[in-house]
Amino acid sequence: VFQPGTDPAAAPLLLLHGTGGNERHLLPLARALSPGAAVLSPRGDVSEHGANRFFARLAEGLFDPAEVTRRTHALSDFIAAASKHYSLDLSRLTAVGFSNGANIAATILQLRPTVLDGAILLRSMVVLDQPAPPASLNGKRVLLLNGTADPIVPVEHPPHLATLLRAGGAEVTQQMVPASHGPIAADLTAAKSWFAA
């Protein structure tokens, strides 16, 4: 889905849904976050028992680095091509990802940092345990929003992901919200505050 922006000053948003979501899943969040922003929202093209994802997993929390890397580059190429087609400014593009979508946004920052200007990652975990290249993320802002009672994301993952992104120079804000794996109103409040700063 592509929705043109109504406010030229608003940074464009890239929406990346979670497992079982689709290209419309995060549209209400995007509109609440930045009503006038242009929005690019692809659908994950990997099916896990009929549920859309951006990359396959071997089991809950277990990933094949080669698969993740291949899918990250393919999505990055799509984003770059779509940005040209729709005249989106990649230097201002902020990803808003949930779960599997947040994870691939993080791997884009690690492997293809020029594709994004920043990211809001809801319920992300470490998928590629490698630091971003030095200085590759200088000037880029990342917000990590994780739940205090999340049964899917191990408690040590958010601070470790923050460390991997900071290695590339990213300005990372990490915040825990009183939630399980699903998003809650506090996520929107935190995201709006961070996005407006």
Distance CA 122, CA 120 (A): 6
Phi, then psi, of 6 in degrees rounded to 5: -110, -10
β 39-40/2-3 pair status: antiparallel
> Which amino acid is located at 39 in the chain?
V
Whether 160 is catalytic? no
Which of these is catalytic: 136, 150, 157, 187? 150
Active-site residue flag, 99: yes
Among 41, 99, 124, 136, the active-site one is 99
| CA pair distance 184, 50, nearest whole angstrom | 25
Query: Exposed (0-12), middle (13-18) or buried (19+): which is 34, by Cβ within 10 Å?
Result: buried
Q: Is 124 a catalytic residue?
A: no
- Positions marked active-site: 99, 150, 181
